Amino acid sequence: MVSILATKEDLFKGVPLPLGGLSNELDLVSICPNEFRYSNNRWSRYAAELFYNGGSIDDWKWKAFDIEDQSKQFSCLEGVLSGFGLHHEDKIAVAGWMLSEMIFEIPVYEIS
């Protein structure tokens, strides 16, 4: 069941599930801005690269200064990308949205 109360503030409030996924991923899909659903969205392209090829977060310029906030945000991103409950298109869109809220810019992509 999708909550009609989900908002942008809920983006990093989910709990990563033991076998992948995020406790509120369906809610996030329902409110994900359409701009992240297009293949020409640079955040979603970066999310797809991370999903398909992996990557490093060493050079990310985080918006959150607190290491615990960064860790929570990254755990939510990992949860969305590692789950099996979403279609790939939804997974990439939500992950792209998350990235746009997590970091200031997309680093040069290099496969780790």
The per-residue pLDDT string of the chain (112 residues; one tens digit each, 9 = 90 and over) reads 444 555 677 899 999 999 999 999 999 999 999 999 988 899 999 999 999 998 888 889 999 999 999 999 999 999 999 999 999 999 999 999 999 999 999 988 655 5
CB 11 within 8 A of CB 97: yes
Q: Residue 5 gets which letter from DSSP?
A: T
In a domain, residue 41? The reply is: no
In a domain, residue 37? The reply is: no
CB 60 within 8 A of CB 8: no
In a domain, residue 96? The reply is: yes
Q: How many structural domains comprise the chain?
A: 1
Range of the domain at 87: 57-112
In a domain, residue 30? The reply is: no
In a domain, residue 49? The reply is: no
Burial 17-44 (b: 16+ CB within 10 A, else e): eeeebbebbbbbbebbeeebbeeebebb
In a domain, residue 70? The reply is: yes
Q: pTM, whole model, 2 decimals?
A: 0.89
